[in-house]
Chains A and B, each alone.
Chain A
Amino acid sequence: MRAALARLIDWPFEALQRALGAARMPYVFVLPNLLVFGIFVVLPMLLNIWYATTSGAELMPGQRPFTGLANFAELLDCGNYLNVASCRQDRFWRSVDNTLWFVAFQVITMVVLSLITALVLNRKMALRGFFRAVFFYPVLLSPVVVALIWKWILQPDGVLNAILVANGGQRVPFLLDPSWSFFWTVVVSVWAHMGFYVLILLAGLQAIPPDLYEAAAMDGTPQWRVFWRITLPLLMPNMAVVLVLGLIRAVQAFDEIYVLTGGGPGTATQYIVQYIYETAFAGQVHIMGLAAAASMLVGGVLLVLTLLQLLASARAKQ
């Protein structure tokens, strides 16, 4: 039975080989992957340029009038760049503004906490494997699950408010207050992703030759000096990777936050990807052109960050 099945799979490929010759078989092997890739990644990338330079609510590319850089001009049209309300697309700028704050807080918090955790995990302590896994567990959870776990904790009748009240505090409507809401999007996002960065930093720490530490211990160098002079400089390449990857991911924050706060209250936690998604798909009118232009701007930022990332990992390899 199994042999018959195997022959059934073999047959078409062997027929192809007879028809094309063995030298052409590599092309047959790469074809399915390239086909999927070309249709669903490369073609859309090219089409995106067309969408960004045309306007209207039509989805079909042929029915969209060409407007040049009008979409970009509309996105960038501001009376005063320091005042979001003076922009024509104030929702865009508000989400850019929110995203910048979010990226700053999220990346810094995450890098610091990941570094501390990786340093501790690098020590010879009992249960090290267990603790390493612990920090990684939330990374595997789906964004929707992460959001619902925290929504349940943060809701007005939730356990966090119960703890506050039990300690003589006041109830706080965490997800209805703009500042708290922003705070929790940062916390939840760090909680969900830091395990991944801990692993990268830990790999870097474990690659530092132990004889450097032994030499330092021999000389009686104090711990903090060892950290500043040996650990941190040698960890720099991995730190750079973590920083840039963290930035790339933070700029694209969407899933957890969309389910946790829906961008609210108001637009307090509406970030750039949500703007793109809602402009193109969720509103009454689907403004594909603006969304495509905004996504190209985001793509430009990500491209710069990606080049930085390649540079950083090239240095990490050396």
Chain B
Amino acid sequence: MIRFLTRRRGNWTDWLSWGWMIFGTLAMFVPVLWLVLSSFKTQSALQEFPPSLWPTGQKQIVVTGYDKPLPVFTVPLPDGGTAERAMVRRIGIELQVIDPAVPDAPLRRVKLAEAVPVRELHFAIENYLEPLEKFSFGRYLSNSLIVTITATAITLLINAMCAFALSKYEFRGRNGIFIFIVSTLMIPITVILVPAFLVVTQLNLGNSLWGVILPPAATPTGVFLLRQYMLTIPDELMDAARMDHASEWRLFWRIVLPLAAPALAVLTIFSIVWRWNDFLWPLIVLNREDVFTLQLGLASFQGELQTQWHYLLAMTVVTLVPVSVVFAFLQKYITTGIASSGMK
């Protein structure tokens, strides 16, 4: 104990630990930050090599007498100095510029090679706004929201009902059902892609959001998690309510469900993240563009529009925002939830 207390502060393992943590923080966040910064650059700024760190664009200025804002250049003056001038038009290799302070003065001619564009911090908000009009981006967004919200609601309800029966009743087949559900915990969608697709098309759910929502709704993880939690809720509460002639459904809905709120919260977070991020299953079920979710929209967009990175980056940022918000507010819940249940 004395050795432990008198241990020299700041030994090499401490430095190494800090080094690794800082490296890790940079490695995890910098790629995402770079995406966010890049998403605010204009299309032309994105094509620069080497790229600039901050989103910059050419400064523009409104000059009286001209309808549109004019781009600003630094141009040499006859006296040898330089000044900022607004470009009115370009003729061949020459620019016609004007002093923004003196809009009535005659235009001056400057060689293109001598004029340097003035750059300033410029956030290209249009990257975020234009995809809403030009592409079905709003559609993808609403499809993703519908899928995430509906699927999470259904998952919570049917998983909780199942967990309730498995934890609060003695009935024939109970253990069999439980073991059966848990044993399929590890069956990945990959193994049943072809026949699952058949079932979905036979039920007329192909190219429908229900085809994405329903199949993964009966999650074994959810049933397992909720059952374990409901087992800790004392049965006496239910017995007391039975005395008052409450129906079994009321016991579930009014007593057990509210008490299972912490476990339901964990499952809600997981379900939202699963559904928002889901890719392979929607990829198979949804082939028509009007039913695409955000993830499918993004993936197909990057295939078609290799050059339109400015839209693609902005849409990627929009896609990662909800998950990042969930993360920022609930990270403690999530990390402890995973550590204790070992699930994702």
Among B65-73, B114-122, B129-137, B162-170, the stretch that binds chain A is B162-170
Residues of B within 8 A of A138 (CB): 28, 32
Verify B190–A33 contact, CB threshold 8 A: no
Say yes or no: is B239 at the interface (Cβ < 8 Å to chain A).
no
Verify B198–A135 contact, CB threshold 8 A: no
**Nearest residue in B to A310 (C-beta to C-beta)?**
B186
Verify B184–A302 contact, CB threshold 8 A: no
State how many angstroms separate the Cβ of B25 from the closest Cβ of chain A. 5
Residues of A within 8 A of B319 (CB): 142, 144-145
Residues of A within 8 A of B217 (CB): 36
Verify B193–A150 contact, CB threshold 8 A: no
Say yes or no: is A59 at the interface (Cβ < 8 Å to chain B).
yes
State how many angstroms separate the Cβ of B146 from the closest Cβ of chain A. 17
A295 interface neighbour in B50, B191, B299, B312, Cβ under 8 Å: B191
Given contacts A135-B24, A159-B34, A202-B339, contact A17 B248 (CB under 8 A): yes
B218 interface neighbour in A41, A137, A298, Cβ under 8 Å: A41
Q: How large is the interface on A (under 10, 10 to 19, 20 to 34, 35 or more residues)?
A: 35 or more
State how many angstroms separate the Cβ of B33 from the closest Cβ of chain A. 10
The distance in angstroms between the C-alpha atoms of A136 and B17, with both chains bound, is: 18
B34 interface neighbour in A139, A153, A296, Cβ under 8 Å: A153
Residues of B within 8 A of A152 (CB): 34-35, 38, 309, 313
A142 interface neighbour in B177, B193, B279, Cβ under 8 Å: B279
Verify B280–A255 contact, CB threshold 8 A: yes
Within residues 119 to 134 of chain A, which ones have a CB less than 8 A from any CB in chain B?
120, 123, 125, 127, 129, 131-134
**Nearest residue in B to A13 (C-beta to C-beta)?**
B249
A30 interface neighbour in B25, B31, B165, Cβ under 8 Å: B165
Verify A296–B191 contact, CB threshold 8 A: yes
State how many angstroms separate the Cβ of B53 from the closest Cβ of chain A. 9
Among A84-92, A101-109, A176-184, A214-222, the stretch that binds chain B is A214-222
Residues of B within 8 A of A25 (CB): 165, 169, 248-249
Within residues 33 to 58 of chain A, which ones have a CB less than 8 A from any CB in chain B?
33-34, 36-37, 39-48, 50-51
Residues of B within 8 A of A280 (CB): 193-194, 197
Residues of B within 8 A of A59 (CB): 197-198, 201
- Encode contact with A along B154-184: 1 for CB under 8 Å, 0 otherwise: 0001110110111001010010010001001
Verify A51–B158 contact, CB threshold 8 A: no
Verify B192–A295 contact, CB threshold 8 A: yes
Say yes or no: is A19 at the interface (Cβ < 8 Å to chain B).
no
Verify A144–B252 contact, CB threshold 8 A: no
Say yes or no: is B13 at the interface (Cβ < 8 Å to chain A).
yes
Verify B194–A120 contact, CB threshold 8 A: no
Other 13 A-B pairs with CB < 8 A, given A27-B165, A36-B158, A277-B283? A10-B247, A25-B169, A26-B165, A41-B187, A41-B218, A45-B195, A125-B14, A137-B331, A138-B28, A145-B319, A166-B50, A223-B13, A259-B299
Q: List 9 A-B contacts (CB under 8 A).
A: A14-B247, A29-B169, A48-B195, A125-B17, A140-B334, A148-B312, A196-B344, A203-B340, A299-B191
Chain A residues engaging chain B, CB cutoff 8 angstroms: 6, 9-10, 13-14, 17, 22-23, 25-27, 29-30, 32-34, 36-37, 39-48, 50-51, 59-61, 116-117, 120, 123, 125, 127, 129, 131-145, 148-153, 157-159, 161-162, 165-166, 191, 195-196, 199-200, 202-203, 214, 217-218, 220, 223, 241, 248, 252, 254-255, 259, 273, 276-277, 280-281, 288, 291-292, 295-296, 298-299, 302, 306, 309, 313
